[in-house]
Amino acid sequence: MQLTTQQFADTIVVAPAGRIDHRSAAELEAALTPLLADATARRGPLVLDFSAVDYISSVGLRVLMIAARQMRAAQARLGVAALQSVVAEIFSISRFDRVLAVSGTLEEALAQSSDAALAAYRSAGRPAAT
Amino acid sequence: MKGVRFWGTRGSLPVALTATGLGHKLREVLRAARGQPLDTDADIERLLASLPFALAGTYGGHSACVQIDTGGSDYMLCDMGSGLRPFGQAALAQRAGKAQTFHIFMSHLHWDHIMGLPFFVPAFIPGNKVLIYGSHAELEMALRRQQEPPSFPVGFDTIFEGRVEFRHLEPGVTHRVAGMNVTTMLQRHTGDSYGYRFESQGKVLVYSTDSEHPLADPAHTERFVQFFRDADLVIFDAMYSLADAISVKADWGHSSNVVGVELCQLAGARRLCLTHHEPVFDDAAIDSMLAETRRLEEITRSAAPLQVSAAYDGLEIAL
């Protein structure tokens, strides 16, 4: 699984790509482990940019649930942004849209994180709201 | 194996449609009938067929009981929830005066799966035989205990007079019962539960209720995929949403529609029937869950379509 990481001020943005299924969920979990440790240690926000994720299975959703639980315990914010339509439907059917903070775009998710994160994102040349 | 008929489909506790619930349905049906032709019975049937099942019918409220039509003379059932009582009445009406044999396969011994036995009238009748199969060592004890004072007024031996017998099934071993190959598999549920794979005449039926699936364990998933492999029908516990099943209701021993679809797709099963419905769900909620599950199957399909149904008391599925 391809996965990129960026930092915008206090917020870590993790962008996995492709399918998150029973084959790749463990990779996502492993990749998230140090990032979650960092975010929870400093109580900083973490956003999962799902714009390049085209499928997620129950095993992948479990990884998100664990991440959300860890972040909540540390009083840190976890957001998920930019779901493709199929993934958005899977979130809705599984009711994950009720337990995770889901934003329509990465910019909206960063606006929820902090003003500094949004400013850093915009100054990095990212387009305004799409 | 010709098919199955559901006599009880509710999880944990039987429920009944209330006067308020029925009144709501009637009002909605009458609204839908405005301006429609209703002069003939055919007009009425046409209108009813056009309505959602949640309005024109009800999923019902008996707890787990599923009849398997083997095509033979003996009856076969899975579980003895409150649905066993109406099944017993139907069996009596069908073959009154003839000795009957009932083979009943128990997923586990929780209350909602055993409460029908004290009300199973065919077991009161001399000449009939009830053979109860299961993999729990406590099978006989649990069924005798529910009829002990102060829980029930009539003792086990007093009403059954030796007509009820018990047969232990070793998990993982294929047993031959009434012309059917029967294999049980341990499932994750408090006090353990067992899934059943029935095979006969080229048909495969899987009954897998009260089963939680630890998603982080690939070996567990593979075990179930093999157990469901190429099934014509998988009857599956879909009591909770996936989010609930792995968070606030983790370790409650149940599963979700999402995991049901995934396991059946991985196993190449042909049909999935969701059951063990959450008692707090009304008919509209189960209708909605069914529509969502069908949509999930559609958007995640990578091979032949998986047909999805939601069980209701009285549903018959041909195999």
CATH number at residue A88: 3.30.750.24
- Structural domain range at position A64: 2-123
- Does residue B247 sit at the A interface (CB-CB below 8 Å)? yes
pTM: 0.94
pLDDT number for residue A130: 40
Identify the residue among B212, B224, B300, B301 best suited for mutation to test binding to A, counting A beta carbons within 10 A and taking the highest.
B300
The verdict on B216 touching A (C-beta cutoff 8 Å) is yes
Domain count, chain A: 1
Decide: B142 and B135 in contact? Cβ < 8 Å.
Answer: no
Element (H, E) at B160: helix B156-160
pLDDT at B138: 97
Contact between chains at B296 and A55 (C-beta distance less than 8 A): no
- Mark yes or no for CB contact A89/B242 under 8 Å: no
Which of B216, B218, B241 minimises the CB distance to A62? Answer: B216
Q: Cα(first)–Cα(last) distance of chain B, in Å?
A: 7
Helix axes B257-267, B218-228, angle to 10 degrees: 70
Backbone angles phi, psi at B264, to 5 degrees: -65, -40
Whose CA is closest to A47, among A103, A124, A125? A103
Do the bridges between strand B101-105 and strand B129-134 make them parallel or antiparallel, or are there none, so unpaired?
Answer: parallel
CB contact under 8 A, B257 and A90: no
- Which of B248, B299, B302, B308 has the highest number of chain A CBs within 10 A, making it the mutation to test binding with A? B299
Q: Does B285 touch chain A (CB under 8 A)?
A: no
For chain A, say whether B132 makes contact (Cβ under 8 Å): no
In angstroms, what CA-CA distances link B171 with B102, B179, B180, B264? 21, 19, 16, 21
Tokens at residue B140, please?
A: 């006989």
At CB < 8 Å, which residues of chain A contact B? 22, 55, 57-59, 61-62, 65, 69, 86, 89-90, 92-96, 98-99
A62–B215 C-beta distance less than 8 A = yes
The 10s digit of each residue's pLDDT in B278-304 is: 999 999 999 999 999 999 999 999 999
CA distance A122 to A120: 5
B212 touches chain A (CB under 8 A): no
How far away is chain B from the Cα of A68, in angstroms, using its nearest Cα?
Answer: 11
Domain annotation covers residue A130: no
- Cβ of B244 within 8 Å of Cβ of A65? The answer is no
Q: Which residues of B fall within a CB distance of 8 Å from A92?
A: 292
A46 bridge partner residues: A12, A78
| Token digits of residue B125 | 């009748």
Q: Average pLDDT for consecutive 10-residue bins of chain B (319 residues)?
A: 97 96 96 96 96 95 97 96 98 87 98 98 96 98 96 95 96 95 97 98 97 93 97 97 92 96 98 97 96 97 96 98
Of A22, A69, A86, the CB nearest to B299: A86
Q: What is the pLDDT of residue A127?
A: 57
| Residue B255 in contact with partner chain A when CB distance is under 8 A | no
- Find chain A residues with C-beta within 8 A of B244's C-beta: 95
- Residue B155 host element (H or E): none
The domain over range B3-17+55-311 is classified in CATH as 3.60.15.10: yes
- Side chain identity at B150, as an amino acid letter? P
Q: How far apart are CA A110 and CA A10, in angstroms?
A: 10
User: How close does chain B come to A49, measured CA to CA in Å?
Assistant: 20
Phi-psi region of B79 (alpha: psi -120 to 50; beta: other; left: phi over 0): left
The tokens 């055993």 sit on which residue?
B114
**What is the Cα–Cα distance from A20 to A32, expressed in whole angstroms?**
13
**By the CB < 8 Å criterion, does B242 face chain A?**
yes
Give the end-to-end CA distance of chain A in Å, rounded to a whole number. Answer: 26
Query: How close is the nearest chain A Cα to the Cα of B197, in Å?
Result: 24
Other beta carbons less than 10 A from residue B16's beta carbon:
11
Domain contains A128: no
- Chain A interface includes B258 (CB < 8 A): yes
B293/A98 CB distance under 8 A: no
Residues of chain A whose pLDDT is less than 70?
A: 126-130
What ipTM did this prediction achieve?
0.90
Q: Residue B106 has what pLDDT?
A: 98
Helices A58-73 and A85-94 sit at what angle, rounded to 10 degrees?
A: 70
**B244 to chain A: nearest residue by CA?**
A95
Q: How far apart are CA A47 and CA A50, in angstroms?
A: 9
